[in-house]
Structure 1
Amino acid sequence: MKKLSIIVPIYNMEKYIDRCVQSVLDAKLNDSIEILLINDGSKDKSQEIMDSYYKQHPDIIRVFNKENGGHGSVINFGIDKSEGKYLKILDSDDYFNTENLKKLIAFLDKNEEVDLIITSYYKVFENSCLKQKLNIKSNEIMPLESLYSIFSGNSNKENINYVPMAMVTYKTKVLKNCKKRLLEKTYYVDTEFNVFYINEVNDFIYLDLPIYNYCIGRADQSISSQSFVNNYNDHSKVVHSIIEYYNTHLFKTKIHKLVTEIMIVRLLNTQYAIYGYHLKKGYNSQLQKVMLDFDQWLKQESPYLYDKMAIRKYISLGRKHNFNKRIYRPFFFKLAIAWEMMRGTWKKYNI
């Protein structure tokens, strides 16, 4: 069995595949790694490029071609097909630090029991990069309680208090044993990825080893303000899916539930902010009704989480004024953030 499966979702990424795949191949770890190149119905030359890599490296590369189903469907498919001891996702427009990937494999050669490995990573902009890491002891296996302490604390520009997909490497068995699968044809399923699977984790280790280079700047990226607005319904579907999971899942321990709640609060913060902050103009009575309906839905589905969201000043103000467009807009959103920053509550997600 190989040490690591790397799932590479591909959809119309002919411009970026070479950089992505080569960052793994250059590590020359053919005996330890498998790369699953999964074409999600691309219409460009992605498949040709994938086939070329397979012909050159059949001992490390596996190629799959499936109908378009979105990022979540590729991850679901990849989990089922993966044969490595551990599993990591690498989006095809991003790339690995080759030398640090070698160090991860060296670590896996000596450690095969921990459920989750968290590593630092870089946000890569056009002219700069920013390291993102956890303010936690490195190279020590810890129980999930330690991750809760990080999640419920403050963050700053470099030390963050959450764990995006770019930071995680799961034991493949953990993912395969989980019965939940990600939504298909839907953006923002990365939150589902961690919420569902972290609840199967008993312990983790943090390595201050920036492996993943997360490239930011493409206008069509799902994290841009315009994409949040355009794909509001997708984000809402993810929220509904995760709230349903939260309401029906039998959590292994109280800590598992608390960690999940903090991740959900982060997701809900974004949901409320899409029309209050990311939408620069055009907020109207129809969108106001969308916000009112969502807020009432959350109150009905999870009164506990509904009450916890009142810690955000822009949400409590929005509720007080029925999400009226005079209040629920970027100007007041920024004022609410400034007010919370003065009080020292803005960066805290402790619930």
Structure 2
Amino acid sequence: MKTVSFAIPCYNSADYMDTCIESILECDFGNRNDIEILIVDDGSTKDNTAEKADEWERRHPGIVRAIHQENGGHGAAVNAGLEHATGRYFKVVDSDDWLDREAMESIMRYLRMQSELKDPTDLVIANYVYEKVHEGTRTVMNYRNVFPRGREFTWDEVGHFGQSQYLLMHSVIYRTDLLRDCGLKLPEHTFYVDNIFVYVPLPHVKTIRYFDENMYRYFIGREDQSVNEQVMYSRRDQQLRVTRLMIDSVNLPDDVESRKLEKYMENYLSMMMCICSIFLRLEKTEDNERKRAEIWGYLEKANPALYKRIRHTVLNWGTNIPTEAGRQFGLFAYHLAQKIFKFN
């Protein structure tokens, strides 16, 4: 069995996928051949992504595998990677991002030790870095105040998450069988499925290890990127779909044993609801207002007690004030968060 399966969803990624793949190949410290890189060509047609994937497989047999499928979106590519994975652990790396070699050295050492144990750590977490290459700036997102360092721990030992300290796909490495056992399957042809990936499996996680290392480098700057404001508005229906799936997938608090995990997941869902409200108010239309009422009504019907707690948080109260002033407040809150958290 491999130690880690790295899945790289690729869709017309020829211009930047090489950097990503090269950074992962450097994680095979000691040339043990105990990693695998699953390049998932998600129906690329506009460039030579498919040919590049095959060439990487030819150059690194036994380590790199090219998987070709009809276009199904980011979720379908992650699903394919998980289906083909033979590693004890599973890590998704987007094709325009890369891993830091120095940070991965200590993380790989730990994962290799865990792979030899009967009960390995369920979830390994590390820092990620927003790389705004065109601006020449970077912002490190860490969890030093949240997680113990230097040892395995449980949810009951976790500290307080700050407003910008959500777990993202960038920061997590799951045990592969945990993802399979919880039945994780991401929707196809839908953006923002990374939220499902880092949310739905959490109640199944019993043990965690945090590395205060800047493992993942998250590239920001392409015009078509899914965190671009105009792009996010155009995909607001997909944001709504993902949020509904998250509401349906975990029943808070019944599905969660730890009170601290329950609080974190409640805050995460609250953030998702806030994003839905904000992006449905970027343009003032009757259709947007109807959809905003519907998503809140969906949460209220599914979990009335949770709805009351989330709806009455300061941020969600402010972004849902039913006036033009409320709409402007929501937009102000979004752009303020943009500057503070550097996410766009």
> What TM-score range do you get, normalising by the shorter chain?
0.7 to 0.9
TM-score for the superposition, normalised by structure 1? 0.85
Which residue is 1:122 aligned to?
129
Which residue is 1:102 aligned to?
105
Which residue is 2:151 aligned to?
140
Which residue is 1:131 aligned to?
140
Structure 2 residue 295 is the aligned partner of structure 1 residue 294: yes
Aligned residue pairs, count: 327
Q: 1:61 to 1:284 in 2, by over 3 A?
A: same
The counterpart of 2:191, out of the listed 187, 208, 214, is 187
The counterpart of 1:173, out of the listed 169, 172, 177, is 177
Which residue is 2:327 aligned to?
329
> C-alpha displacement at 1:122, in angstroms?
1.0
The correspondence of residues 1-351 of structure 1 with structure 2, limited to 5 A, is 1-29=1-29, 30=31, 31-43=33-45, 44-112=47-115, 113-126=120-133, 127-134=136-143, 135=145, 136-147=147-158, 149-151=159-161, 154-155=162-163, 160-247=164-251, 251=255, 253-255=257-259, 256-276=261-281, 279=282, 282-313=283-314, 315-317=316-318, 319-321=320-322, 324=323, 326-331=324-329, 333-334=331-332
Q: 1:262 to 1:336 in 2, by over 3 A?
A: closer
Once the two structures are superposed, what CA deviation does each residue of 1:93-132 show, in whole Å capped at 9, x if it has no partner?
1011122222221122333411110001111012111111
Alpha-carbon distance in structure 1 between the residues aligned to 2:43 and 2:313: 41
TM-score for the superposition, normalised by structure 2? 0.87
Alpha-carbon distance in structure 2 between the residues aligned to 1:331 and 1:260: 25
2:244–2:298 Cα contact (<8 Å) kept = no
Q: Secondary structure at the match of 2:284?
A: coil
Once the two structures are superposed, what CA deviation does each residue of 1:179-221 show, in whole Å capped at 9, x if it has no partner?
2311111011111111221121101011011111000111211
Once the two structures are superposed, what CA deviation does each residue of 1:152-202 show, in whole Å capped at 9, x if it has no partner?
xx34xxxx4211110001111111211231111101111111122112110
1:27–1:98 Cα contact (<8 Å) kept = yes
2:266–2:310 Cα contact (<8 Å) kept = no
| C-alpha RMSD of matched pairs (Å) | 2.5
Once the two structures are superposed, what CA deviation does each residue of 1:245-301 show, in whole Å capped at 9, x if it has no partner?
23499625143544432321221121112133xx2xx31233222222333333222
Q: Secondary structure at the match of 1:15?
A: coil
1:14–1:49 Cα contact (<8 Å) kept = yes
What percentage of residue pairs aligned between the two structures are identical?
A: 26
Q: Secondary structure at the match of 1:111?
A: helix
Structure 1 residue identity aligned to 2:58: K
Q: Which segments of 5 or more consecutive residues in structure 2 lack a partner in the other structure?
A: none
1:124–1:215 Cα contact (<8 Å) kept = yes
Structure 1 residue identity aligned to 2:325: I
Structure 1 residue identity aligned to 2:291: V
Q: Which segments of 5 or more consecutive residues in structure 1 lack a partner in the other structure?
A: 341-345
Q: 1:79 to 1:46 in 2, by over 3 A?
A: same
Alpha-carbon distance in structure 2 between the residues aligned to 1:218 and 1:229: 16
Alpha-carbon distance in structure 1 between the residues aligned to 2:188 and 2:67: 17
Q: Secondary structure at the match of 1:3?
A: strand
